[in-house]
């Protein structure tokens, strides 16, 4: 049984939960418990789109929806308790990324331990960067995340960087006695199925540069615009930027930078959370994805880009370096080096048609789950 967010509050983890469930279903009997109403809607930065059907993803017919659980526990707890008693899974895998799910995960852990069901935790980051800035939420997460891990049979991280960050949060004693596996993030190749065939472009056409994803302080989207601003008119004439994403945390700096750019006519701004159809169109036409992140454990747009085989220009930060270490299309730039970002983008101009193989698959994660619960083998 996987436990993770459903599509009502659509996010990268909604996509991840579905993709992992479908990958596991190729060889395992899989059910999912969906976190449906993740938090009170008015608190959610993307509140205006909650419930909109923006994704083409669907769970495989063989994956059973075990139930839904909301933040208020208004529905789902009694049904879950009965299900775990009457038809217990051999292992439960919690998708961890936000303290908003912590109280629900603690309840799932309690019910699972009552029935003798082992629980694994898959970490996507220790805590959301926005949450970590809130003193009460940060301390709450540190304290009760330790309690959650104490009850777990094991944990999975995507990178050594995440593993090190987790060790600091948990403390050496708890960390050292928690069985752990490192398994890289699986591919996000689902957009290829809905993408329109891309037309070949002429050498004289501008390089299509894409920024894609939530617009937040740590993602550094403004540095892409600053890099464009530092190009000569001749250089900027070779570049067309698609800047696509939904603003969170009131972070308007990138949009303001676009408005002030001397090359505003070279930039297309799509300031919203786009549907899969629109996302597929942007990635199909892109030559290079730019990720000027200040920090990051992972990146959904990065894995979409690798599935499309396009160039990726990114600051060499945290877990992202590990995520692309075997991807030939990655160009790493010193963090916060806007001139280096500019030069890396321009280096793609004469290599825009190159495409690269994606080295990632979902099998390492499937193996990691099986190895942490060797007696389950999820028939």
Mark the ranges of the chain whose per-residue pLDDT is less than 70.
75, 193-203, 374-379
The pLDDT assigned to 296 comes to 86
pLDDT tens readout for residues 84-141: 999 999 999 999 999 999 999 999 999 999 999 999 999 998 878 778 777 788 889 8
Q: Among 301, 241, 246, 242, which residue's Cα sits nearest to residue 271?
A: 246
pLDDT tens readout for residues 194-215: 656 555 556 678 999 999 999 9
Give the distance from CA 59 to its chain's centroid: 18
What is the DSSP code (8-state) at residue 53?
-
The pLDDT assigned to 188 comes to 95
The pLDDT assigned to 199 comes to 53
Whether the CB-CB separation of 81 and 109 falls below 8 Å is answered with no
State how far the Cα of 177 lies from the Cα of 167, in Å rounded to an integer.
11
Give the distance from CA 261 to its chain's centroid: 29
Average model confidence (pLDDT) across the chain: 93
Q: Among 279, 261, 262, which residue's Cα sits nearest to residue 270?
A: 279
pTM for the predicted model, two decimal places: 0.93
Per cent of the chain over pLDDT 70 is: 95
Whether the CB-CB separation of 96 and 120 falls below 8 Å is answered with no
The pLDDT assigned to 379 comes to 36
- Return the H-helix or E-strand segment holding 263: none
- Concatenated DSSP letters of 212-237: ES-B-GGG-HHHHHHHHHTS-HHHHT
């Amino acid at each position: 049984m996987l436990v993770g967010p459903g599509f009502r509050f659509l996010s990268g983890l909604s996509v991840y939960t579905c993709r992992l469930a479908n990958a596991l279903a190729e060889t395992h009997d899989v059910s999912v418990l969906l976190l449906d109403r993740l938090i009170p809607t008015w608190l959610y930065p993307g509140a205006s789109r909650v419930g909109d059907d923006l994704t083409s993803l669907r769970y495989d017919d063989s994956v059973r929806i075990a139930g839904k659980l909301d933040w208020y526990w208004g529905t789902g707890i009694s049904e879950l308790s009965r299900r775990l008693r009457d038809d217990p899974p051999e292992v439960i895998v919690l998708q961890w990324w936000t303290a908003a799910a912590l109280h629900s995960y603690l309840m799932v852990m309690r019910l699972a331990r009552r029935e003798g069901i082992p629980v694994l935790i898959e970490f996507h980051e220790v805590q959301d960067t926005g949450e970590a800035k809130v003193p009460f939420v940060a301390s709450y997460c540190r304290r009760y995340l330790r309690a959650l891990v104490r009850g777990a049979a094991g944990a999975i991280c995507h990178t050594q960087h995440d593993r090190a960050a987790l060790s600091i949060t948990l403390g050496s004693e708890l960390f050292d006695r928690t069985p752990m596996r490192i398994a890289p993030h699986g591919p996000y190749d689902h957009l290829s199925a809905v993408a329109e065939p891309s037309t070949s472009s002429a050498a004289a056409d501008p390089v299509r540069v894409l920024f894609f994803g939530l617009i937040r302080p740590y993602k550094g989207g403004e540095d892409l615009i600053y890099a464009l601003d530092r190009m000569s008119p001749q250089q900027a004439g070779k570049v067309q930027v698609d800047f696509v994403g939904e603003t969170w945390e009131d972070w308007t700096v990138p949009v303001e930078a676009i408005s002030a750019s001397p090359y505003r006519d070279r930039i297309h701004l799509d300031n919203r959370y786009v549907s899969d159809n629109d996302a597929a169109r942007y990635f199909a036409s892109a030559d290079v994805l730019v990720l000027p992140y200040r920090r990051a454990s992972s990146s959904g747009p990065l894995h979409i880009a690798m599935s499309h085989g396009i160039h990726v220009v990114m600051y060499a930060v945290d877990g992202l370096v590990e995520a692309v270490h075997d991807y030939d299309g990655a160009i790493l730039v010193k963090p916060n080096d806007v001139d280096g970002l500019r030069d890396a983008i321009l280096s793609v101009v004469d290599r825009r048609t190159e495409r690269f193989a994606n080295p990632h698959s979902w099998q390492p994660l499937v193996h990691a789950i099986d190895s942490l619960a060797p007696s389950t083998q999820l028939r």
